């Protein structure tokens, strides 16, 4: 019988995570070294460093400059009295932590084990990648520990259908997942919204910052995505998304003005994100802009964030600064490669455990207790 990951002790979760990284490492190469602590900055880290990944490194570094305020003199706080649960557009979650969408496993990991039998590699790329199996690992692995998985969309190749593959995985999990559509031209975007609706997805996201992906350093060259649109106005976005009754989330917001425009566009949520530093070099870290964005929109819209979050304590920091939840990208890709759905569950449960422990050590019995005075921002920030 499969073990219930949510009942595992922390030491065991850590040991399993190390084993999963070891398993994934040879298959992540040459783009990723599957470091247990992914900081974007190790030499030859091909995902975001090189000469154009400084925003990705900054995401991680700025989070290290925030510290937690330990206080264990309070009433309550037995293990099961710590409640990190929350609501995500009507779906209950054990903690406000998601995976971040990363598409086309064969493109990002040329040596992935997610391959379709009998299909050859084309142009040196793993066009034979099995993006359905990869998406299923993300969606099921998250759902199994009470989280919600996000899947992505990317440039078109006649042999891969990762958007549809992701939707299939979501549909099979009764809609418990968020498809993230690229900002295509209006007609294509509308069609993809309809597909997401048909799959019963709990919410629909759009990574509007993908218009900058020409600078994706993972490819080491300028590589535009054919069919992608120019930036869209708030009015355009409102019209396009008016065809769905699903809540929709704009991913890639980095300014208070952008967040206000997302509200005008009718979005139910935003993700403060710089795409792991891939789309615009020399942008601020996401955690640096979080508070000003939250001040600008208040409670009008849900505010999620990603970029460099690696532990439950990091999630705690963002919650104390006003975020409603955190997405984690590259480590969850490593988790899927090294352990499929089980690997994703282990990683997500480790984060949830760390968040709950941070709450216990700071006197927070529920998420609403995680207030600004529970963290210190150090002088260097």
Ligand X SMILES: Cc1cc2nc3c(=O)[nH]c(=O)nc-3n(C[C@H](O)[C@H](O)[C@H](O)COP(=O)(O)O)c2cc1C
Residues forming contacts to ligand X in the complex (CB under 6 A) are: 47, 59, 100-103, 108, 152, 154, 180, 207, 218, 251, 273, 275-276, 278, 306-309, 328-330
Least Cβ distance, residue 178 to ligand X (angstroms):
10
Least Cβ distance, residue 207 to ligand X (angstroms):
3
Find tokens 């708030």 and name the residue. Answer: 234
Least Cβ distance, residue 171 to ligand X (angstroms):
20
Question: Is 156 tagged catalytic?
Answer: no
Q: Are 166 and 146 spatial neighbours (Cβ–Cβ below 8 Å)?
A: no
Q: In angstroms, rounded to a whole number, what is the distance separating the alpha carbons of residues 303 and 294?
A: 7
Q: What are phi and psi of 275, to 5 degrees?
A: 60, 40
Residue 142 carries which DSSP code?
H
Q: Are 316 and 374 spatial neighbours (Cβ–Cβ below 8 Å)?
A: yes
Least Cβ distance, residue 191 to ligand X (angstroms):
18
Least Cβ distance, residue 331 to ligand X (angstroms):
7
DSSP string, 1-55: ----GGG--HHHHHHHHHHHHHHHHHHHTTT----SS--S-STT-TTT-GGG-HH
Q: Which is nearer to ligand X, 258 or 363 (CB)?
A: 258
Active-site choice (113, 156, 275, 311)? 275
Angle at 100 between CA 228 and CA 162, to 5 degrees: 50
Q: Which is nearer to ligand X, 32 or 82 (CB)?
A: 32
Q: Are 236 and 187 spatial neighbours (Cβ–Cβ below 8 Å)?
A: no
Find tokens 């099961």 and name the residue. Answer: 80
Q: Which is nearer to ligand X, 304 or 364 (CB)?
A: 304
Helix axes 286-297, 54-64, angle to 10 degrees: 80
Cα dihedral: 171, 128, 39, 273 (round 10): -50
The residues annotated with a catalytic role in the active site are 275
């Amino acid at each position: 019988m499969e073990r219930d990951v949510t009942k595992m002790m922390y030491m065991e979760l850590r040991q399993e995570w190390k084993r999963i990284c070891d398993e994934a490492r040879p298959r992540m190469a040459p783009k990723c070294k599957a470091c247990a602590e992914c900081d974007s900055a190790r030499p030859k880290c091909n995902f975001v460093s090189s000469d154009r990944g400084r925003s990705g490194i900054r995401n991680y570094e700025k989070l290290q400059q925030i510290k937690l305020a330990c206080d264990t003199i309070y009433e309550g706080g037995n293990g099961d009295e710590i409640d990190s649960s929350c609501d995500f557009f009507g779906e209950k979650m054990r903690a406000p932590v998601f995976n971040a969408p990363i598409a086309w496993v064969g493109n990002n990991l040329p040596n992935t084990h997610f391959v379709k039998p009998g299909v050859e590699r084309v142009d040196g790329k793993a066009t034979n990648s099995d993006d359905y199996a990869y998406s299923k690992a993300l969606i099921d692995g998250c759902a199994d520990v009470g989280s919600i998985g996000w899947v992505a969309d990317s440039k078109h190749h006649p042999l891969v259908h990762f958007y549809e593959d992701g939707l299939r995985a979501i549909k099979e999990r009764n809609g418990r997942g968020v498809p993230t559509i690229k900002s295509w031209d209006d007609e294509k975007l509308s069609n993809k919204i309809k597909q997401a609706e048909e799959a019963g997805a709990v919410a629909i996201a759009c990574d509007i910052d993908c218009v900058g992906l020409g600078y994706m350093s993972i490819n080491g060259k300028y590589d535009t995505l054919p069919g992608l649109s120019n930036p869209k106005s708030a009015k355009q976005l409102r019209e396009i998304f008016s065809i769905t009754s699903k809540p929709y989330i704009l991913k890639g917001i980095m300014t208070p003005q952008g967040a206000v425009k997302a509200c005008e566009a009718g979005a139910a949520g935003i993700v403060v994100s710089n795409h792991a530093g891939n789309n615009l070099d020399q942008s601020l870290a996401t955690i640096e802009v979080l508070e000003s964005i939250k001040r600008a929109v208040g409670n009008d819209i849900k505010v999620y964030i990603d970029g460099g979050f690696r532990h439950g304590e990091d999630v705690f920091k963002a919650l104390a600064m006003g975020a409603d939840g955190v997405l984690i990208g590259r480590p969850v890709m490593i988790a899927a490669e090294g352990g499929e759905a089980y690997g994703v569950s282990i990683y997500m449960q480790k984060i949830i455990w760390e968040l709950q422990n941070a709450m216990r050590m700071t006197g927070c019995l529920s998420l609403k207790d995680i207030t600004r005075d529970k963290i210190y921002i150090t002088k260097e920030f």
